[in-house]
Amino acid sequence: MRVAVYYNNKDIRIKEVPRPEIGPGELLVRVEAAGVCGTDVIEWYRRDKTPLVLGHEIAGEIVELGEGLRQYKKGQRVSASHHVPCGRCSYCLKGHETTCETLRKTHFDPGGFVEYLRLPAINVELGGVYPLPDNLSYDEATFTEPLACVLRGQKLAGMAKGSSVLVMGCGISGMLHIQLARLKGASFIAACDIVDYRLNLARKFGADEVINPQAEDVVERFRQLTQGKGADLVIVATGAKSAHIQALQLVQRGGCVLFFAATAEGVSIPLSINDVFWRNEITLTSSYAATPAQHLEALELLSQGKINVKDLITHRFDLDKIKEGFRLVAEAADSLKVIIQPQK
């Protein structure tokens, strides 16, 4: 079978390798669609692990079942989690399943940008397989994982009905955050990005106002929009250092900043304890990955059409063209979701 082996964003090689063999309790999935995530193109994060096969936003069809599996069948359409929490450790029991050691050690074999992948028994056993509704395409189903991550982020940040929200960064995560905040009853949503193409789409997907930092002062403009109050929730869905600093200036008293995206390597920001915390009761939080329950919740929202992902897909490529897909995601310009279709 063909696999895409990642060395860096400009060096992704298509190689022929044997199809994985499965054991008891395992599944072999033919990958029909795999989304390119923003984290896939963070070179410093992958540098010490290369060469490797990336891809974790997948949808496909079960073609082989390992001994002992009766709840699945050949031909069944599924999405799956590459990481799964154990559900028993102290992290899981405290509600921080995505910091679980098991979650951080589990993965697909060999990855999602392949023709076929093996789902290890632990992934199957711990609930990391999700049958797809008939009305959901494979391409749309690749959004199960990113939407689950957005659900977790907003849950940890305390997103509530009536909140004013500022989403900084209008890539895929930002667009999903805008739609989910609107669904949850946000009273006002503003979106910030340096690419006008993405800002126009942000309006389409639910933002009341948009701000381009290259055209106007973000802090001044947002304070005008909120009569000086700032946001109940600021979601930083970009790695730009300036956005992280501005987020601390734009969260209002009693509000929360959700740091959702990774930055460049080694980035740090100044933090005034008195200005940010003392007397203001500001919460700073982060989120990483999602639980199986949140994947199921995401799948339900997608199936019900409550989150529009079909119109977020801007490019589709077969496996041989994956390098072009990575280029578009890394440039973060006139594209949004890039889908790789290994069977084409």
Kindly state the DSSP code that residue 39 receives in the 8-state scheme.
G
> Where residue 278 falls among pLDDT bands split at 50, 70, 90?
confident
- Please report which confidence band the pLDDT of residue 272 belongs to, taking 50, 70 and 90 as the band edges: confident
pLDDT at site 12: 98
DSSP letter (8 states) at residue 279: T
The per-residue pLDDT for 276 is 81
15-24 own/partner pairs: CB under 8 Å, 24+ apart? 17/110, 19/115, 19/116, 20/109, 20/110, 20/116, 20/117, 20/118, 21/118, 22/64, 22/65, 22/66, 22/118, 23/66, 23/67, 23/121, 24/66, 24/67, 24/68, 24/121
**Which band of pLDDT confidence, cut at 50, 70 and 90, is reported for residue 133?**
very high
Are 133 and 303 contacting, i.e. CB atoms less than 8 angstroms apart? yes
Specify the pLDDT at position 14: 98
Query: Phi, psi at residue 93, to the nearest 5°?
Result: -65, -20
Work out the pLDDT band at 104, boundaries 50, 70, 90.
very high
Contacts of residue 166, Cβ cutoff 8 Å, sequence gap at least 6 = 189, 190, 191, 192, 222, 231, 233, 234, 235, 247, 250
Average pLDDT for 74-103: 98
Least confident of 151-165, 247-261, 275-289: 275-289
CA terminus-to-terminus distance, the chain: 13
Does the pLDDT value for residue 125 go beyond 90? Answer: yes
- pLDDT of 274 higher than 90: no
Q: Which pLDDT value is given to residue 254?
A: 95
Q: How far apart are CA 94 and CA 247, in angstroms?
A: 28
Q: What is the pLDDT of residues 174-228, one digit of tens each?
A: 999 999 999 999 999 999 999 999 999 999 999 999 999 999 999 999 999 999 9
Listed in sequence order, the residues at least 6 apart from 250 whose beta carbon sits closer than 8 Å to its beta carbon are: 166, 218, 219, 222, 223, 230, 231, 234
Longest dimension (CA), the chain: 63
CA torsion angle for 78, 295, 81, 4 (degrees, to 10)? 80
| pLDDT at 277 (0 to 100) | 80
Percent of the chain with pLDDT over 70: 100
Candidates 290, 258, 283; CA nearest to 100 is 290
CB 305 within 8 A of CB 330: no
The pLDDT tens digits for 2-17 are 999 999 999 999 999 9
Give the Cα separation of 331 and 314 in Å (integer). Answer: 14
Give the span between the Cα atoms of 264 and 23, in whole angstroms: 40
Are 338 and 315 in contact by the 8 Å Cβ rule? The answer is yes
- Sorted by where each starts, the structural domains of the chain and their CATH numbers stand as 2-143+309-341 (3.90.180.10), 149-286 (3.40.50.720)
Number of H helices, E strands in the chain: 12, 15
> Tens digits of per-residue pLDDT, 12-50?
999 999 999 999 999 999 999 999 999 999 999 999 999
What pTM did the predictor assign?
0.97
Phi (first) and psi of residue 16, to 5 degrees: -100, 125
pLDDT class of 275 with cuts at 50, 70, 90: confident
Question: At residue 106, does pLDDT exceed 90?
Answer: yes
Mean pLDDT score across all residues of the chain:
97
